[in-house]
A and B are shown apart, each in its own frame.
Chain A
Amino acid sequence: MKLSRRQVRDIALTINLEIPEAEIESVRLRLAGMLASMADIEHELGTAMDNTEPIPPVYPHDDFLE
């Protein structure tokens, strides 16, 4: 995932977050890594994801009642 420092700085400014210049690169690398991993996940699971609702698994799991 190509992502420039300037893009990171600009996205951060949309939520009024100013990231010090010295740490922009660290944030850029982290974010680029996260987006790259998502691209990998989309490649492998994309179709299954299209057919699955994003319901958080926080409700009682009645199908596993013992």
Chain B
Amino acid sequence: MEHTAQGSSDLFFLSAAEQGCLIGRRALSPVELVQAYLSRIERYDPVLRAYITVCGDEALAAARNAEREIVAGNRRGPLHGVVFGVKDQLRTCGVRTTVGSKIMADYIPDSDATVITRLKGAGAILIGKENLHEFGKGGTRVFTYGQPRNPWDPKRDPAGSSSGSGIAVAAGFSSASLGEDTGGSVRGPAAACGVVGMRPTFGRVSRSGSVMYGWTADTIGPLTRTVEDTALFLHAIAGHDILDPLSSRRPVPNYTAALRPGLKGMRLAVVKEMSQREGAHAEVLRAFEKALAVLRELGAEITEVSLPWTRHAVSLNGLSSDVDVASMYLPLLKTRWNDFDVGTRTRFAAALLVPASIYSRAMRGRAVVRRQILEALRDNDALLCPTGLTPPGIIENNHEHTIARPDSAQDLGLRAGTHPFAIANTPALALPMGFTQDGLPLSLQIAGRPFAEATVLRIGYAYEQATTWHTRHPDLDRTLSGFGGPAKIASEQTK
């Protein structure tokens, strides 16, 4: 079964760059664009559950304002008038920020996160707050604001924790999204939903105004339909912020200027342990080999590197970042235990009981694994592996298990493709690299040196331009029909 594009020229599936060009030429009205997205959200989101809150009136008002400014000759730049959603972990002034929890259901911030301020300053229009795993951690069993579903097959997991951010971009519910990535929460949903997602270097993008407490690993990054769009959105949100003391003062390069075809002279290395693990899906491995062939044809020199310690990345992230996050929720766990999802509260409780001596040793372990990854990057411009070693799984099968089953180690390993670059705090890009025979998206991951986002984006762009995967979009009438038919959609809409 192949879900071909139902017309990639459709307004809602155009790239943000294309939309921005049309808006700049006054061939497309921002109001028309917002209305197109609101219409799609109304029709399909009752099943897909990408959004927790849709800011329809505010978005239309912002679109009218953008239109007035552009008509008056005051176009702010390439993102003026394009539409974005954000993971509901980022504070939005006057719009509730639930963090996916019923505990936060009525929390309405009085200021925007820095990244939202910057996107609004660039003229982009906020359309809504996107669904996520509770408090931005994986493992949610019951989603308070509806079960997020994969637009390519709604029985499948869209991955997390920025689930709605991946769905919205893939389903044509926004021009782009912002997600948050501690261990893989941007790249995982990007991979599962067949879009582009980037974890920037820690410090490249301000964390101010986000509800997240993994202070040594949390990053905010874009999810988009093309690499060029990721470059545009990253450029808009990157840079020092006085409100985030760990944000870098380095100048922000012009990422789009780095995008060009051809990779002659580039040295890339396949990470052996992240590309050949037992249990990897055959179609993933075949697609990855084909992706490597494309990169070679583009002029890249590709070798293999062994990074055996990356297998500890998931555990080390759990023993450090999970502890940091859980410690902030102890007061709420004491008073509102039952208002947490069972997956979240048991994960947090376990993290809270990790001895300080283990936490300290885990931080040392992170530094050791990071050093191994950085050494590999001294000799290579970037590292390569599949973003995930299996296609998106059935939702019920993907529920996080307690770590006691015999196959748990393998299970964790197969899901570990994003964590090594998170604990190393290097930039990493996930982008489409094909589809299974059943039409499920597959994803390539490219990781670079600290602050070398431009190099990572250049490699991704060259690959993307040499392939057509990014031009495919899910035909929602077809995929959701198989899930329950239009009647199901209609009945959900009346609820």
Contacts and interface: CB of A to CB of B under 8 A. Distances in A.
Interface string A23-66: 10011011111111110111011001110111111111100111
B347 interface: yes
Contacts of B21: none
Contacts of A34: 315, 318-319, 350-351, 354, 358, 403
Contacts of A66: 449, 451-452, 455
In this complex, the interface size class of chain B, counting residues with CB under 8 Å from chain A, is: 35 or more
Given A12-B353, A57-B425, A64-B450, A49 B402 contact: no
Interface string B304-342: 000001001001101100000000001001100100001
Tell me whether chain B's interface is mostly helix, strand or loop, or mixed: helix
Contacts, number: 144
Contacts of A33: 402-404, 408
Contacts of B250: 60
Tell me whether chain A's interface is mostly helix, strand or loop, or mixed: helix
Contact of B350 (A27, A38, A41): A27
In this complex, the interface size class of chain A, counting residues with CB under 8 Å from chain B, is: 35 or more
B450 A29 contact: no
B363 A56 contact: yes
Nearest to A61: B450
Interface string B97-111: 000000000000000
Contacts of B408: 33
A59 B43 CA distance: 46
A45 B312 contact: yes
B368 A45 contact: yes
Contacts of A59: 203, 246
Interface string B443-471: 00000011110010000000000000000
B346 A27 contact: yes
Interface string B365-384: 11111110010010000000
Interface of B: 201-203, 215-216, 246, 248-250, 309, 312, 315-316, 318-319, 330, 333-334, 337, 342, 345-347, 349-354, 358, 360-371, 374, 377, 402-404, 408, 423-425, 449-452, 455
27 contacts: A12-B353, A15-B330, A18-B337, A23-B345, A23-B346, A26-B402, A30-B346, A30-B350, A30-B403, A33-B402, A34-B318, A35-B354, A35-B358, A37-B318, A38-B315, A38-B361, A41-B312, A45-B309, A49-B361, A49-B365, A52-B368, A57-B216, A58-B246, A59-B246, A60-B248, A64-B451, A65-B451
